[in-house]
Chains A and B, each alone.
Chain A
Amino acid sequence: MKIIIEEPTEQEEDKVIIRCRELDENLLRLIQGLKMNQDTIIAHDKNMTYMLEPEEVFYFESVDNRVYIYCKNKVFESKQKLYEIESCFENSMFFRASKSVILNIKKIKCLTPAFSGRFEAVLKNGEKIIISRQYVGELKGKLGI
């Protein structure tokens, strides 16, 4: 694969053009990575592709080597790995709640203790997510405690 970087003219905006015969897995992931940095999330459901805003996402969960995106009433799939999503949203209101979950703080309705130093987050859509003890520190940091 050739990579060519050109300087645009003054009137032109920055853009990325991908020229390919076929959109394979690697290229899809590259596009998703670029789109993530623009604060949109590429989500898949059956054969459809959607562009989601981070505000719509309640949490990401990794199950059986697949990453799922949970919104208020719907679940999508992401082609990205959880660690890639985590690094994309490092300085946002998303944080790692457990080994397999990245949670949106803005979607937390309330927190309750869940024994052994863990906490249970009740989300605005009624779902409950357990925050592991080792990640409570990260939540505290995001909340400024």
Chain B
Amino acid sequence: MKRVIKNIGFRYVIVLAAICSILPMVSLILKEWKDETSLQLWYLTLMALFCALGEVIIMESETRSRSKKETLIRFLCHYIYINTVVIFLGIRVGWFSLVNYIEIVVLAIMIAVIYLINILISYYKDKNLADKMNRILSSMEEEKE
């Protein structure tokens, strides 16, 4: 339970920072920023909290190991969950409207791009480490022979 709370808290801080950086830019590009600043900030905080709760979807299980396929499916579910939270709250606050669906598509694409960049960087880093470890394993095998 402690681990879950710690991960959610960490994720909440990261997401809040990301949302505070990205959403004002989106609003400036697509339409003018509204005057209800304090209400916007509350919604931002709520959005960050709900996004952070999505951490339980992708968090590593303590009891069993997940396969690559299951991890990818969980990433996809997490992406759908994040989009749902952001779009729902965005419509509620008035950042987007269902009539102007282009805004929603742009947002979904931006979130997908962030996801992809994150996954690719992480994969590239791990691939390099895996190659290094495989070289050592090969040399161990050669020494044994």
Which residues does A use to contact B, with CB under 8 Å?
98-101, 105-106, 108-120, 129-130, 132-133, 136, 139-140, 143-145
Can you name the residue of chain B whose Cβ is closest to the Cβ of A133? B60
Q: Is the CB of A110 within 8 A of B137?
A: yes
Complex Cα distance A139/B24, Å? 44
Q: Is the CB of B68 within 8 A of A114?
A: yes
User: How many residues of B sit at the interface, in one of the four size bands?
Assistant: 20 to 34
Tell me whether B140 is interfacial, beta carbon within 8 Å. yes
Which residues does B use to contact A, with CB under 8 Å?
58, 60, 62-68, 71-72, 75, 119, 122-123, 126-127, 129-130, 132-134, 136-137, 140, 144
Can you name the residue of chain B whose Cβ is closest to the Cβ of A99? B62
Q: Is the CB of A113 within 8 A of B137?
A: no
Q: Is the CB of A98 within 8 A of B65?
A: yes
| A99-B63, A132-B60, A132-B65 as given contacts; A115 in contact with B132, CB under 8 Å | no
* A111 surroundings in chain B (CB, below 8 A): 130, 133-134, 137
* B66 surroundings in chain A (CB, below 8 A): 130
Can you name the residue of chain B whose Cβ is closest to the Cβ of A115? B71
* A100 surroundings in chain B (CB, below 8 A): 63-64
Can you name the residue of chain A whose Cβ is closest to the Cβ of B133? A111
* B140 surroundings in chain A (CB, below 8 A): 105-106
Set A109, A119, A133: member contacting B130, Cβ < 8 A: A119
Set A99, A106, A130, A139: member contacting B133, Cβ < 8 A: A139
Complex Cα distance A113/B124, Å? 9
Q: Is the CB of A118 within 8 A of B75?
A: no
Can you name the residue of chain A whose Cβ is closest to the Cβ of B119? A115
Q: Is the CB of A108 within 8 A of B68?
A: no
Complex Cα distance A117/B129, Å? 10
Ordered nearest first, which 5 A-B pairs have the shortest CB separation? A113-B126, A130-B65, A115-B71, A111-B130, A143-B136
